Amino acid sequence: MAALTVIIALLSFYIPFLSVLVYFLIALPTVILYRRYGFVAAFLESLTASLLLLLFMDIFNCLIYAVNIMLPGLMIGSVYRSQKDGVVRFCTGYVAFLGSLAAEMAIFQFVTGISITQDFLNELDTSFATMKNLYTQTGLLQESGMQSFNQNLDEMKDLYTTFFPAIVLILPAALSYIDLLICDGLMKRLRLSYVPMKPITQWQLPPYSQYVLALTYIVSVALSHLIADPSVKIYAETVTLLTLTVFWVLGLSFYYWLIQEKTGKPRRFLRFLILFFSLFVPIGAPILILTGIFEMFFNLRRFFTKDENEGKR
């Protein structure tokens, strides 16, 4: 298992476009070992893999890989071994990936002396300066067009700066969900017992939580518009984006449920189209967010099961 972990790490290290393997696959051998043999076997495997990586890379990259192997692997493996349900596994995975992301940021700052946020802003400044020089030298834009272009770049930079903390908080949730889907598939294939995670079509909020969520959204939007303090604005925008993400997930859950309800099958291609539409078409995300809000308050599913329920009566 340690050899498999090392191979995954080396593939992601030396082949840049495979770096995503770090988050989705590198901890899987540790999770499987923990589920089968317990903490000691999983810890020794992850420690051995981390030490072997020292033969192929510098110590700082090795530390980053060690964090991504141990933290998610041991934490997620522990909840699989104790037969926890999907919600507990998801929350544990979220904390694990958030912790590994925070550790990566700390290691990056220790090595470079620059925070990852500042590095992100520096990369934006460099990219925007390159774009400005390109348009200036080629003369593609007139003076008035150049002013508008510069204004758009400044607005884009402010947008990235404002939403960067929210992205850091949302990313571990996506990583946790995808990783748990892969782990569930492996557990099923290896015939290891586990509590199945509730499918996304059944995701709904607990009673009365919609009012708390709606109030949080209203307050965060009000603060972001009424208070000029940049730090308060960033916090408010972060909370706003997090609540909108919850609405988006509820809308996605509703449409996935509707497809299964009307066709009798999951229809993965239709699901992919809806996900693609919501992520890459400008009007897609607002439609899912509005659907999620209506589903949250009015339970839209009952309107599509009304005829079926009347038939049973």
Model pTM score: 0.81
What is the arithmetic mean of pLDDT over 58-62? 88
Is the model's pLDDT at 223 over the cut of 90? Answer: no
What is the arithmetic mean of pLDDT over 19-44? 88
pLDDT digits (tens, 9 = 90+) for 100-132: 989 988 888 888 787 777 777 777 778 777 777
Contact (CB, 8 A) for 68 and 49: no
Q: What is the largest CA-CA distance in the chain?
A: 74
Query: What is the predicted pLDDT for the residue at 313?
Result: 41
Measure Cα distances from 287 to 218, 247, 275, 282, 300 in Å.
19, 10, 12, 10, 14
Query: Where is average pLDDT lowest: 12-21, 62-71, 172-181, 238-247?
Result: 12-21
Query: What is the predicted pLDDT for the residue at 143?
Result: 63
Structure tokens at 142: 């007139």
